[in-house]
């Protein structure tokens, strides 16, 4: 059984389990795709300032509980295995049932463990581990937990809810907080950490000013210095090409942000923050925005790298290979080529909406999803046309753009712009002023040579792309040719 965050509310392991609804549903934040990690409890070589209050073992706050005397109530993190919960308590009446209830703050449903104990006893001495290696809950998040004891006479006694940080304690994390975001790094200088925070806060501001969507819950960003570092914290079945993971329902982001790599900050941080904002702005129990809108908008707000996606969409569309928009409503393919195409077409669809209806139209469209209506109704109410009509217009527009740019010689995306500024164009213009068979022959000869160089260069780029094994790469947009649909933005400007 899974809630909207994609996190299983039941788990296998020691003892029986069952899920129960939260008593505080109204306080739980939405869940849409995946995670929020908080961090861990660091016990190696001293505890950093951010975790001094929670050193991996958390004691219960002293409180009088009628009918229950608690000698010990603690939890200890052992990353990446899981958390061990310990309860040493005595009740006034015999015990019929014992439950350990835990959840991340963003989830609406508890996971429940039924530790083994002697029925009818009044003395509890429990040490119960939960295995989190399968990725049921990502590292970096808070875990709220409490014990519920049912006595033979039906009375129920509960311990106060406590919080433990379940996180990756392999590194000594340092926090930096802004109004909406806290960034955690372990191998970066303060200036780079500040750049990550500024990018995140700037994206939140831009989205609010452009579409009226607001962030209601603060977000945590865990910045890993390298690919291997991040992969050591992800679930075993994670895709090897991802550069980050957003868990909107848990208000958390994990990303590969090597120290000093400002380009990666500009590409990854706005993308993942967009997911967080959109999730919180459209949270409802019935429906969430289609994947093409969520991913397309996130890619659109990247501060770098988006031109590659759009050029790839044109490359695919030049032969009319544009899938129906409905095929992009759900999860994208996991293979590299399929994922690349899906992100590229999603970006182009978002660009078409912004070019046609502007920020106001996008704001109206996003506002409809807060009501939990169908995709067809959302498009009709937000844009004033049917979903099928949006699909048709977008595809026709994309194919026309691809063919028009192809006619201008800019659909290969592997070489220089053959337009203004190209050395071959300059030569062609000079020869066009002359006449005669010899000159015409030279023009043809030069055109052939230029074509050969273009093919060789394009093939070399393609080979380089095939050899890359760390991330998806695309050909750059030709220099000097601005992709349609971009709103010119400088840092700090919407």
123 domain residue, yes or no: yes
319 domain residue, yes or no: yes
Within this chain, do residues 152 and 195 fall inside the same structural domain, yes or no?
A: no
Within this chain, do residues 223 and 345 fall inside the same structural domain, yes or no?
A: yes
Q: Of 166, 192, 221, which residue is a domain's last?
A: 166
151-178 burial: b if 16+ Cβ within 10 Å, else e = beeeeebebeebebbbbbbbbbbbebee
Q: Where in the sequence is the domain holding 430, given as residue range(s)?
A: 423-467
- The strand pairing partners of 245, in sequence order, are 254
Within this chain, do residues 33 and 109 fall inside the same structural domain, yes or no?
A: yes
Within this chain, do residues 56 and 154 fall inside the same structural domain, yes or no?
A: yes
Residue 159 maps to which CATH number? 2.60.40.10
Q: Which residues contact 397 (CB under 8 A, 6 or more apart)?
A: 352
Query: What integer pLDDT is reported at residue 241 of this predicted model?
Result: 66
Measure CA 401 to chain center.
Answer: 30
pTM of the model: 0.69
What domain count does the chain have?
3
Query: What integer pLDDT is reported at residue 260 of this predicted model?
Result: 95
344 domain residue, yes or no: yes
Query: What integer pLDDT is reported at residue 51 of this predicted model?
Result: 41
288 domain residue, yes or no: yes
Within this chain, do residues 249 and 128 fall inside the same structural domain, yes or no?
A: no
Query: What integer pLDDT is reported at residue 405 of this predicted model?
Result: 78
Within this chain, do residues 392 and 258 fall inside the same structural domain, yes or no?
A: yes
d(CA 366, CA 357): 13
Query: What integer pLDDT is reported at residue 319 of this predicted model?
Result: 84
Dig out the tokens for 480 from the structure: 């000097």
Within this chain, do residues 403 and 427 fall inside the same structural domain, yes or no?
A: no
Query: What integer pLDDT is reported at residue 477 of this predicted model?
Result: 38
Query: What integer pLDDT is reported at residue 64 of this predicted model?
Result: 60
Within this chain, do residues 276 and 303 fall inside the same structural domain, yes or no?
A: yes
412 domain residue, yes or no: no
Instruction: Tell me the average confidence (pLDDT) per consecutive run of 10 residues in the chain, 494 residues long.
Output: 33 33 33 32 32 41 72 96 97 95 89 95 96 90 96 93 95 97 96 98 98 94 94 79 81 95 94 95 92 96 91 90 95 89 96 97 95 94 98 96 70 33 29 30 37 39 37 36 35 36
Within this chain, do residues 269 and 362 fall inside the same structural domain, yes or no?
A: yes
338 domain residue, yes or no: yes
403 domain residue, yes or no: yes
Within this chain, do residues 295 and 367 fall inside the same structural domain, yes or no?
A: yes
Query: What integer pLDDT is reported at residue 407 of this predicted model?
Result: 56
Query: What integer pLDDT is reported at residue 26 of this predicted model?
Result: 32
Within this chain, do residues 104 and 249 fall inside the same structural domain, yes or no?
A: no
Residue 198 maps to which CATH number? 1.10.390.10
Within this chain, do residues 80 and 106 fall inside the same structural domain, yes or no?
A: yes
241 domain residue, yes or no: yes
Half-sphere exposure of 493 (CA within 13 A, CB side): 5
Q: Of 166, 194, 216, which residue is a domain's last?
A: 166
Q: Is 409 left (phi over 0), alpha (psi -120 to 50) or beta?
A: left
Query: What integer pLDDT is reported at residue 80 of this predicted model?
Result: 93
């Amino acid at each position: 059984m899974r809630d909207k965050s994609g996190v299983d509310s039941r788990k296998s392991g020691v003892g029986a389990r069952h899920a129960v609804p939260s008593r505080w549903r109204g306080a739980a934040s939405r869940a849409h795709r995946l995670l929020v990690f908080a961090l861990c409890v660091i016990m190696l070589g001293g505890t950093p300032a951010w975790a001094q209050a929670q050193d991996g073992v958390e004691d219960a706050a002293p409180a009088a509980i009628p009918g229950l005397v608690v000698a010990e109530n603690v939890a200890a993190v052992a990353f990446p295995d899981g958390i061990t919960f310990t309860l040493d308590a005595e009740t006034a009446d015999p015990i019929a049932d014992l439950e350990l209830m835990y959840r991340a703050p963003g989830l609406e449903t508890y996971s429940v463990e039924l530790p083994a104990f002697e029925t009818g006893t009044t003395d509890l001495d429990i040490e119960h581990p939960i295995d989190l290696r399968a990725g049921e809950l990502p590292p970096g998040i808070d875990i709220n937990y409490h014990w519920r004891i049912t006595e033979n006479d039906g009375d129920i006694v509960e311990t106060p809810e406590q919080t433990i940080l379940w996180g990756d304690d392999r590194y000594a994390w340092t926090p930096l907080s802004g109004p909406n975001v806290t960034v955690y790094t372990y191998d970066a200088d303060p200036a780079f950490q500040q750049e990550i925070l500024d990018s995140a806060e700037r994206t939140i501001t831009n989205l609010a000013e452009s579409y009226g969507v607001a962030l209601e819950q603060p977000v945590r960003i865990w910045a890993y210095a390298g690919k291997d570092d991040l992969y050591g914290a992800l679930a075993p079945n994670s895709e090897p090409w991802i550069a980050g993971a957003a868990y909107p329902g848990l208000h958390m982001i994990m990303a590969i942000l090597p120290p000093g790599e400002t380009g990666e900050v500009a590409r990854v941080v706005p993308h993942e923050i967009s997911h967080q904002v959109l999730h919180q702005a459209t949270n409802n129990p019935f429906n969430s925005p289609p994947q093409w809108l969520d991913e397309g908008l996130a890619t659109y707000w990247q501060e770098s790298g988006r031109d590659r996606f759009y050029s790839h969409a044109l490359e695919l569309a030049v032969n009319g290979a544009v899938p129906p928009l409905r095929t992009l409503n759900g999860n994208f393919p996991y293979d590299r080529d399929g994922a690349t195409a899906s992100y590229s077409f999603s970006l182009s669809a978002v660009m078409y909406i912004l070019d046609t209806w502007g920020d106001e139209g996008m704001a109206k469209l996003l506002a409809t999803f807060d009501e939990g209506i169908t995709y067809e109704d959302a498009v009709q109410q937000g844009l004033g046309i049917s979903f099928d009509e949006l699909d048709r217009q977008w595809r026709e527009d994309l194919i026309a753009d691809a063919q028009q740019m192809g006619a201008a010689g800019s659909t290969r995306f592997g070489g220089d712009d053959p337009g203004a500024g190209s050395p071959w164009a300059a030569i062609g213009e000079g020869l066009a002023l002359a006449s005669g068979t010899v000159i015409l022959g030279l023009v043809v000869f030069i055109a052939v040579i230029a074509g050969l160089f273009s093919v060789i260069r394009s093939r070399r780029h393609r080979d380089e792309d095939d050899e890359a094994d760390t991330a998806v790469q695309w050909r750059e947009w030709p220099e000097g040719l601005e992709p349609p649909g971009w709103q010119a933005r400088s840092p700090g400007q919407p």
